[in-house]
Amino acid sequence: MKNNTETPDEIGGKMYGEGNKVEVSTKPNEFKNRKYFFQENFVNECDAFVKYFAAIKDNGVMLHIIRDIKNMGDYCDLFNNVNKDFYRESINLYNDSIPADELNGNILYASKLVKLINSPDKGRCLVANAVIPKNKTLIFEPPTVVQVKPLCTCVGDRESSLYRCHNCGVACKMFFTCDGCNICVFCSRACMMYAYTNYHRYECYGLQRHFWSMEDTDYSYLSFRMMLYGASKNFRSDSTVGQCYGDIDNNYPFLYMLETNFHQLGIAKVNEILYKSSKNLMYLIMKTTFFDIFKDQRADIHDLYLYIGGLLVKHYCQAQTNNIILKYPNLSTGFGINVVSGTGKAICPTVALLSHACSPNAVVLVYYDSVAVKSIKPIRPGEEITICYKEVDALLTLSERRTITEEIFNFTCKCYFCEYERYWIETPYRCQVCSVGKAKKIDLENGKVMGYCIRCERYFNFDVILDNLKVATICQNLYKATFAIDHVVRLAECYSKIFPSNSWKLLDIYKLLYEKHVLGEEKPFEVMKYGLLTFSILEHYLSRLYVPILVAKVKFVSRVLNMRSFEKLKNVSEDQLDIMKIFVAEVMKMKEDLEFYLPEQKILFHKNLLIKVHEVFKTMQLV
């Protein structure tokens, strides 16, 4: 008797174009010029996918997707030639969870110190429920969906990565490797069995052939995993939000409710997401048995295909907006603050409630199997809890930061820091009356120029600022011609009369002077002076716990203490002694700052720094 069983490949080919009379040219230029962009009006992600899917079946683009999936190539044989003891001891087990009696009964994984509100402007967000001191854990959440970057040299970097469990992200001393894909490792048989039962059996074939890009800018795989998580919960998206935000057993309702940026995207980006989601859907149809479990439940399987495609589009946009970039710290190397031992992305519905601010009051920390949010400055009751998205560097200029938020997240950042910087651009000068206010230049009708201070609301003669601006221009030109440091010192003096003490203009000059004196290695007090001035301006706007600032300060202190001329200090003036006292105070505070990120045993190097400072103080004499 003849066997009429068809493979998923054959079903996909018959249903979506292969074998029909639609011909697709194999010439690259002709395919690129083919009109397949989708430009119709659509209501939501599902409606857009239905229309797009019909369009690419009609114009032949579907055949290219089918052929790409059929010809994915050989699988990657990662673990055949890899030493499985690689980085065996570099495991991060540091943790900082919330005590059980401090957990919030209304928000899963959150502290009692925060509460969930609905803002007319921002929707759901978290605010302080009481006064929150610095260094308080506000959220401690295991990811609902996690994507760790494989160590394969095709898509990963073995030199800076650990073996991490594909299911929970834990770094593995010993691990189990999937026999199917030979790519994914698991920390235990429990993780391996859970992954295989719920999602890995559907992704295994694609992972071994690198069907998905694991780059930070692509969310095809993460959206695929979000959909598979939903399938493992029978796509139950009904929630009891009134009782508790989040559910350990089924977090899909809260994942499904995450914000999506679909309607803010341009038509080209929409088409890109629709195309990638179509590829994911066709992969499921052709290379997996995913839809077998639904055949007895659904009368029209084709409608289910379209529903899943719409979900993939929705989850792609949600992943793009709400993902947390995972940079696992490696506490066994260096200072452990900025050394990475594996990367990835995660979806954490509770953490996703937090809004972005370029100068935030909280920070996201990645631990071995959870994502934590900790306060980095005191927060007032009712004040919104904010974090700085990993893609945004607060030390960039306003225009650079806004370019990132607009291009990646499709919003223009108007946080306090951005608005303050915009205000500073409009009023950059130092008030000559109160000396602390910000002032702007006002051109009068008679041709004269006056200054006006926003703080003290008084006018003043602008001639002093104009005279110093002329001298500053001369100093700049002389420095460009000679590169002599004396002209930069004179420029700094002029700028201190023109701009307020926390001006970004002064920051740039102090950084230049610091670097110049570091290269000279002759004047340790000048290095200390301009280094401390640089940090004082940065910390006026940003928290001293902001990682780039803290890392820079560790390097600054170490650099000063290792200068040959620093060890020979003996006779010092009163001004130099004052600089030394401020420097020592910063060295003392630095230990507390480091403890925010590191366990006590990782900060032993700080004791050596204090010993060096003490030895120099013993030899110093006031002249």
Task: Count CB atoms within 10 A of the CB of residue 482.
Answer: 10
Q: Could you tell me the pLDDT band of residue 156, with boundaries at 50, 70 and 90?
A: low
9-66 tens-digit pLDDT: 554 555 554 443 333 334 444 444 444 577 888 899 999 999 999 999 888 889 999 9
Q: Is the pLDDT of residue 4 over 60?
A: no
Q: Tokens standing for 64? A: 């290219």
Q: What is the dihedral of CA 354, 355, 356, 362, to 10 degrees?
A: -40
How much of the chain exceeds pLDDT 90, in percent?
Answer: 46
**Predicted pLDDT at 271:** 92
Domain borders along the chain are 1-71+222-228+257-314, 73-219+323-390, 393-423, 429-461, 499-622
Q: Are strands 355-356 and 386-387 parallel, antiparallel or unpaired?
A: parallel
379-419 tens-digit pLDDT: 999 999 999 988 888 888 888 898 888 888 888 888 888 88
Q: Is the pLDDT of residue 78 over 80?
A: no
Q: HSE-up of 327 (CA within 13 Å, CB side)?
A: 13
Q: Could you tell me the pLDDT band of residue 615, with boundaries at 50, 70 and 90?
A: confident
Contact yes or no for 400/158 (Cβ under 8 A): no
**Predicted pLDDT at 545:** 92
Mean pLDDT, the chain, rounded, equals 84
Q: Could you tell me the pLDDT band of residue 182, with boundaries at 50, 70 and 90?
A: confident
Which residue type is seen at 413? C
518-549 tens-digit pLDDT: 887 778 899 999 999 999 999 988 999 998 89
d(CA 113, CA 103): 9
* 3-state SS assignment for residue 326: strand
Who's near 29: CB < 8 A, 6+ residues apart? none
Q: Could you tell me the pLDDT band of residue 85, with boundaries at 50, 70 and 90?
A: very low
Q: Which long-range contacts (CB under 8 A, 24 or more apart) does 620-623 make?
A: 620/569, 620/570, 620/571, 620/572, 620/577, 620/580, 621/570, 621/571, 621/572, 622/572, 622/573, 622/574, 622/577, 623/571, 623/572, 623/573
Classify residue 505 by burial, with Cβ atoms within 10 Å: 0-12, 13-18, 19+.
middle
* 3-state SS assignment for residue 307: helix
Q: Could you tell me the pLDDT band of residue 88, with boundaries at 50, 70 and 90?
A: very low
258-281 tens-digit pLDDT: 999 898 888 889 999 999 999 999
The single residue listed with the structure tokens 């540091």 is 94
d(CA 603, CA 337): 11
**Predicted pLDDT at 19:** 40
105-141 tens-digit pLDDT: 999 999 999 999 988 877 889 999 999 999 999 999 9
Q: What is the dihedral of CA 253, 256, 258, 261, to 10 degrees?
A: -170
Domain 73-219+323-390 fold: Beta-clip-like (2.170.270)
Q: HSE-up of 223 (CA within 13 Å, CB side)?
A: 30
